[in-house]
């Protein structure tokens, strides 16, 4: 089983130019981030993971992305102030866990429940009816 965040990539790479009345801020930085996201081909990577895992009997689970990097994996306390670039520090005084923010988010994704998908679009239970057996040579 492979778990990934269900990201809205098209929304993430939208322009920050804004309008004449309300111009965007940090437009050059946003353009660079958009190029970086597009260059990594996140959507294609997930599509290939779905296809390859379904072909080998596995499954890919898409986990809702909101809060995975702002929630403490140990106690479940959620606070946006807990994340500071690469460091996550739980703001709950009873917990106080401190560690790498990406590690915390990865543990949250691992523990989350999401929707299983497969490359064939059938939740991995049955084979596609359109698939034909190979012809004898």
Higher pLDDT, 37 or 102: 102
- Sign of torsion, CA 84 4 66 93? negative
Q: Which two tokens stand for residue 9?
A: 């990539």
% of residues, the chain, pLDDT over 90? 0
Residue 19 confidence (pLDDT)? 67
Mention every residue, 6+ apart, whose C-beta is less than 8 A from residue 77. 71, 90, 91, 92, 95
Residue 124 confidence (pLDDT)? 46
Residue 136 confidence (pLDDT)? 64
Q: Do 58 and 119 contact (CB within 8 A), yes or no?
A: no
Residue 105 confidence (pLDDT)? 85
User: What does the pLDDT look like over 79-101, one tens digit per residue?
Assistant: 888 888 888 888 888 888 888 88
User: What does the pLDDT look like over 19-45, one tens digit per residue?
Assistant: 667 677 777 777 877 777 777 777 788
Considering the chain, what is the average pLDDT of its residues? 76
pTM: 0.58
Residue 56 confidence (pLDDT)? 85
Q: Three-state secondary structure along 13-29?
A: CCCCCECCCCECCCHHH
Higher pLDDT, 128 or 13: 13
């Amino acid at each position: 089983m492979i778990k990934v965040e269900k990201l809205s990539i098209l929304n993430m790479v939208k322009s920050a130019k804004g309008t004449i009345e309300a111009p965007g801020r940090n437009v050059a930085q946003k353009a660079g981030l958009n190029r970086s996201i597009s260059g990594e081909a996140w959507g294609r990577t997930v599509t290939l993971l779905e296809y390859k895992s379904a072909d080998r009997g596995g499954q890919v689970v898409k986990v809702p992305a909101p809060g995975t990097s702002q929630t403490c994996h140990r106690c479940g306390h959620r606070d946006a102030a807990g994340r500071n670039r690469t460091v996550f520090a739980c703001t709950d005084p009873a917990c106080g866990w401190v560690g790498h923010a990406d590690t915390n988010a990865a543990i949250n994704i691992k523990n989350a429940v999401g929707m299983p998908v497969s490359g064939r679009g059938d939740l991995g239970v049955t084979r596609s009816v359109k698939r034909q057996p190979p012809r004898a040579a």
